[in-house]
Structures are given as structure tokens and as C-alpha cells.
């Protein structure tokens, strides 16, 4: 069975809380895969079958029979399935992690936690049941964003200093110096790092590293730019620096990252708009 892959961009009002949404349904051979780091939390809605997840290349695999969240990490995770896949994934930003899952990023950093443990067994099971019963990817994306939107509206107001700093890092593709953030906020570096780590799970410098990598991953997979141009565009000192970071945060070479780009997309919302 050829993989059925679909993708959608977040609604404008949710763009600060989540990134692109992906859906995959496939039947094939068992597969183990290295999952690149993301600058936030990977929320995996398992519609059928189960997965095994490890929080690092050498970590033991944990069988996940239900949906789960993988917290922010500087080490790529490892996943394994037995040949049948039917999942929907969305990457939550630090702001989205707190609003949607009800816990700060630090509570999930480097961990894999069942969805029911975060939002309640009943609410988590009802969401997955509704997604599984929907007949198209577009309908599933709409249902998931409706659910996320309700949780965002009901969430407490985030800390303004951390939300502002994270937004600045995102807007600059991870290239704003931490010293500049500190000056613009009018606080000490220690104060900024402590508050940021409490809310996000890593400090601002590490978060900027993940954002730069996310930008590089996007360019490698969605453009024909040569490696030197990608490196320069993303703030790496040279091509070798880019290669080291891609290896460290994805377990792949840049060429392997490019080859790992999702394909066979059968449904795309928002007609061709994109953002890194």
C-alpha cells in the first residue's frame, strides 16, 4: 500500500501555537526511524495500531498503544512500528505546549507522556475517536484545530517575557543573540535563562539552536538550495557547521535529510502557502 500522506498549515489564529499538521496512513514492512528534534512538543495522535518510542538513539523503546506527546529535546528520538501506521502529528510551540497540554515545556522535556495523562483519559480518547471516525484528512485537520483552538481560548495567559523572547527567536529563525534579548527585555541573562527554561524546557540559546535547525530542515526538504546557501541562510558559520548540527539533531546527513522529505502528499490545505 502506497503511503497516504497529507499536510495542512495551522489556521492564522493558531499559528503561534503549532506548526504544520501531518497525517500518514500506510501498510508495509516494519520500520525503525530516527525522529529529528523539533523546537517544541511533538503531539502524536495514534488513530490505529501502536508504536514504540525511544527518547534517544540508545534509549530503550517504550511501546505506546495510545496517543502521546514527546517533549522538547536536543537528542533525536527513535520510533518503531510493525508495518501499519495511521497517525496524525502536530508540533506544538512552547506557547502551544502550555496552552494545549496544560503543562510547561519543562514538565515534558526529554520525555514521552501519554495524551490521557495530560488532558484526561476521557477527553483524549474522545478526540482520537472523533479523528479516527472522520473520513478525510481535511476533516481530521479541522477537528484537531477546533480542539486545539478551544484549549487555547481556555488557557491561562502565558508569561509575557518568555512568550516575547520565544517569538523573537522564532521570527529571526534562531539568529537573534541571547544578549540582545536580555537587553531588550531589560533583565539579566540569568533571569531570562531561568524563566525561559522553566517555561520551555531548554534555555533560550538551546531553543534558538533548535529553531535554526528547523529552518535548515525546511530548506533542505522544500528547496533546491545548495548546502552552502542553506548554511548561510540559517546562520551557520559554514557548510561543515550545518552538517554537524543536522547530524546531531536528526541523526542524518544533510543529503539524508533531503532524501527523508515527506512525499506522496494526497491532500494539502491552504493552497501552497508555507512557512519555515
pLDDT in tens, 174-189: 999 999 999 999 999 9
pLDDT, tens digit, 9 for 90 and up, residues 113-127: 999 999 999 999 999
pLDDT at 1: 59
pLDDT surpassing 70 at residue 276 = no
pLDDT at 208 exceeding the cut of 60: yes
Average pLDDT, stretch 36-51? Answer: 91
Closest CA to 45 of 104, 123, 156: 123
Global confidence as pTM = 0.89
Please give the average per-residue pLDDT across 58-87, as a whole number. 86
Mean pLDDT score of the chain: 89
Burial of 157 (0-12, 13-18, 19+ CB in 10 A): exposed
Please give the grid coordinates belonging to residue 2. 502506497
Please report, rounded to a whole number, the percentage of residues in the chain having pLDDT higher than 90: 73
Q: 262: pLDDT confidence band, cut at 50, 70 and 90?
A: low
Q: What is the DSSP letter of 157?
A: P
For the chain, counts of helices (H) and of strands (E): 11, 11
Distance of CA 58 to the CA centre of its chain: 21
| pLDDT, average across residues 228-245 | 96
Model confidence at 108, pLDDT cuts 50, 70, 90, reads: very high
The percentage of the chain sitting over the pLDDT mark of 70, rounded to a whole number, equals 94
CA distance 50 to 123: 19
64 vs 228, residue with greater confidence: 228
State the pLDDT at residue 268. Answer: 41
pLDDT at res. 272: 36
Predicted confidence at residue 269, as pLDDT, reads 43
Mean pLDDT of 151-159: 91
Residue 34 pairs in a beta bridge with 78
Contact 222, 215 (CB under 8 A): no
Please, which residues have CB within 8 angstroms of residue 117's CB and are 6 or more apart in sequence? none
68 strand-pairing partners: 44, 114
Q: Are 1 and 26 in contact (CB under 8 A)?
A: yes
- Pairing, β 4-8 against β 265-268: parallel
Amino acid at each position: 500500500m502506497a503511503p497516504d500522506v497529507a499536510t495542512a498549515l495551522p489556521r492564522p489564529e493558531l499559528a503561534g501555537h503549532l506548526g504544520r499538521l501531518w497525517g500518514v496512513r500506510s501498510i508495509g514492512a516494519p520500520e525503525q526511524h530516527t525522529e529529528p528534534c523539533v523546537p517544541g512538543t511533538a503531539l502524536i495522535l495514534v488513530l490505529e495500531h501502536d508504536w514504540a518510542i525511544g527518547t534517544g538513539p540508545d534509549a530503550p523503546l517504550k511501546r505506546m498503544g495510545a496517543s502521546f506527546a514527546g517533549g522538547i529535546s536536543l537528542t533525536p528520538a527513535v520510533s518503531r512500528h510493525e508495518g501499519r501506521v495511521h497517525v496524525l502529528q502536530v508540533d506544538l510551540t512552547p506557547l502551544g505546549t502550555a496552552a494545549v497540554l496544560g503543562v510547561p515545556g519543562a514538565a515534558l522535556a526529554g520525555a514521552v507522556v501519554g495524551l490521557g495523562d495530560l488532558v484526561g483519559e476521557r477527553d483524549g480518547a474522545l478526540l482520537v475517536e472523533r479523528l479516527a471516525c472522520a473520513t478525510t484528512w481535511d476533516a481530521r485537520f479541522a477537528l484537531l484545530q477546533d480542539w486545539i483552538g478551544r484549549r487555547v481560548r481556555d488557557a491561562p495567559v502565558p508569561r509575557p517575557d518568555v512568550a516575547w523572547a520565544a517569538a523573537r527567536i522564532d521570527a529571526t529563525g534562531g539568529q537573534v543573540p541571547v544578549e540582545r534579548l536580555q537587553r531588550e527585555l531589560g533583565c539579566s541573562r540569568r533571569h531570562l535563562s531561568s524563566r525561559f527554561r522553566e517555561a520551555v524546557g531548554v534555555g533560550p540559546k538551546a531553543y534558538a539552536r533548535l529553531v535554526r535547525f528547523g529552518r535548515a530542515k525546511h530548506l533542505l526538504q522544500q528547496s533546491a538550495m545548495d548546502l552552502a546557501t542553506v548554511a548561510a541562510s540559517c546562520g551557520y558559520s559554514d557548510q561543515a557547521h550545518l552538517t554537524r548540527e543536522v547530524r546531531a539533531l536528526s541523526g542524518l546527513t544533510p543529503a539524508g535529510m533531503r532524501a527523508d522529505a515527506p512525499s506522496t502528499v494526497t491532500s494539502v490545505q491552504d493552497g501552497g502557502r508555507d512557512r519555515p
